[in-house]
């Protein structure tokens, strides 16, 4: 499992200092593709056009940790965000996180639903090597889905409670939808706010329920936006990314 040549680590506090980010650095593209060849092709095309690439479960399960190193080799200017959304007992999560430390990724996601002590154990396991992002409520979920899953609180309240857990645990940031940004900012102003469910005006929603445009999300306080299909399915992926960066620059 050799994914060496990690970039120098930065502290969680420095990582979360996102106010001064350039528009391009705010754009994270989800490499939601089936294999390494497809991922490397997208990474090559987007090098110089976006700030970060997100490797998620589909690609990581298919290719294993070596895909992190390979993506970095073809796009050395881009940071990497490992979106594994870990959720298990703390002992198992901490073991997984200790393995991720060697990968040289900027962020790793864990689910926030198990509370502050659980998140704190993850933050300690990560040390300064990787920033832990707590996923509040998936952007594919709406109020009905939350109720069906047994939650009795309103969705936004649940997001806020989980942001408080992430703050108290010392996480680098949270993942939330654009619609909860103001509540998250109010309770956890120093955390990085990573927002998926982004759709340029007129784009297909797919399975996302709580969506927002790129400019609106950043204007409302997103530190980073995560975009998958609107860029991956474009005929010219670099041009689609550039259009979003231009939109952010004007926001
Ligand atoms: O294609 P689309 O732009 O909807 O992709 C969104 C990406 O963000 C996917 O990789 C998805 O796994 C991820 N994500 C999300 N909701 C969260 C956390 C991550 O959609 N709460």
Going by pLDDT thresholds of 50, 70 and 90, the confidence category of residue 207 is confident
The pLDDT confidence band at residue 210, using thresholds 50, 70 and 90, is confident
226 lines ligand 1 (CB under 6 A): yes
What mean pLDDT comes out for the span 29-55?
97
Interatomic CA distance for residues 65 and 81, integer angstroms: 13
CB atoms within 10 A of CB 89: 10
For ligand 1, the distance from its centroid to the CA atom of residue 142, given in whole angstroms, is 14
pLDDT the model gives residue 9: 39
The first and second tokens of residue 147, run together, are 């109720």
Least trusted range by pLDDT, from 15-29, 49-63, 235-249:
15-29
Alpha-carbon span 216 to 214, nearest angstrom: 6
Segment (H or E) for 194: strand 192-195
Give pLDDT, residue 17. Answer: 63
Which ranges of the chain would DSSP assign to H, the alpha helix? 12-16, 36-46, 57-63, 66-74, 90-100, 116-126, 143-148, 155-169, 181-187, 214-219, 229-232, 237-249
Q: Please tell me the pTM assigned to this model.
A: 0.89
pLDDT level of residue 25 (50, 70, 90 thresholds): very high
Overall average pLDDT of the 210-214 stretch: 87
CB atoms within 10 A of CB 65: 17
CA torsion sign for 163, 169, 174, 175 is: negative
- With a cut of 50, say whether residue 12 has pLDDT above it: no
Ligand 1: does its nearest atom lie under 6 Å from the Cβ of 135? yes
What pLDDT score was predicted for residue 16? 46
Using the atom order of ligand 1, give the atom closest to the CA of residue 198: 3
- CB contact at 8 A, 188 and 164: yes
Smallest Cα–Cα separation from 197: which of 234, 159, 226, 233?
A: 226
User: Over the chain, what is the mean pLDDT?
Assistant: 90
- Asked whether 231 lines ligand 1 (CB < 6 A), one says no
Answer whether residue 92 shows pLDDT above 60. Answer: yes
Q: Are 181 and 220 in contact (CB under 8 A)?
A: yes
The atom number, within ligand 1, closest to the CA of 232 reads 1
Q: How far is the CA of 34 from the centre of ligand 1 (A)?
A: 15
* Residue from 38, 47, 58, 85 carrying the catalytic annotation: 85
Domain made up of 12-249: CATH architecture:
Alpha-Beta Barrel (3.20)
pLDDT computed for residue 109 by the predictor: 97
**The pLDDT value given to residue 251:** 59
pLDDT in tens, 140-160: 788 888 888 888 888 899 999
């Amino acid at each position: 499992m050799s994914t060496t040549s990690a970039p120098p680590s930065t502290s969680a506090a420095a990582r979360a200092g996102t106010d001064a980010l350039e528009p391009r650095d705010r754009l994270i593209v989800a490499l939601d593709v089936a294999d390494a060849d497809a991922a490397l092709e997208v990474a090559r095309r987007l090098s110089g056009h976006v700030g970060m690439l997100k490797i998620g479960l589909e690609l990581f399960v298919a290719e294993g940790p070596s895909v992190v190193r390979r993506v970095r080799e073809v796009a050395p200017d881009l940071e990497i965000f490992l979106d594994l959304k870990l959720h298990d007992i703390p002992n198992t999560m901490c073991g997984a996180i200790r393995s991720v430390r060697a990968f040289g990724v900027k962020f790793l996601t864990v689910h926030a639903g198990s509370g502050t002590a659980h998140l704190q154990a993850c933050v300690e396991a990560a040390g300064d090597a990787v920033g832990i992002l707590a996923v509040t409520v998936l952007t594919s979920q709406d109020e009905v889905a939350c109720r069906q899953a047994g939650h009795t609180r309103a969705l936004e309240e649940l997001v806020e409670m989980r942001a408080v857990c992430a703050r108290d645990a010392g996480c680098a940031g949270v993942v939330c939808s654009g619609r909860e940004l103001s509540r998250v900012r109010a309770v956890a102003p120093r955390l990085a706010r990573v927002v998926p469910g982004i759709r340029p005006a007129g784009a297909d929603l797919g399975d996302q329920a709580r969506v927002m445009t790129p400019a609106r999300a950043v204007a409302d306080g997103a530190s980073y936006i995560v975009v998958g299909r609107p860029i991956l399915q474009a005929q010219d992926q670099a041009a689609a990314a550039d259009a979003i960066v231009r939109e952010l620059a004007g926001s």
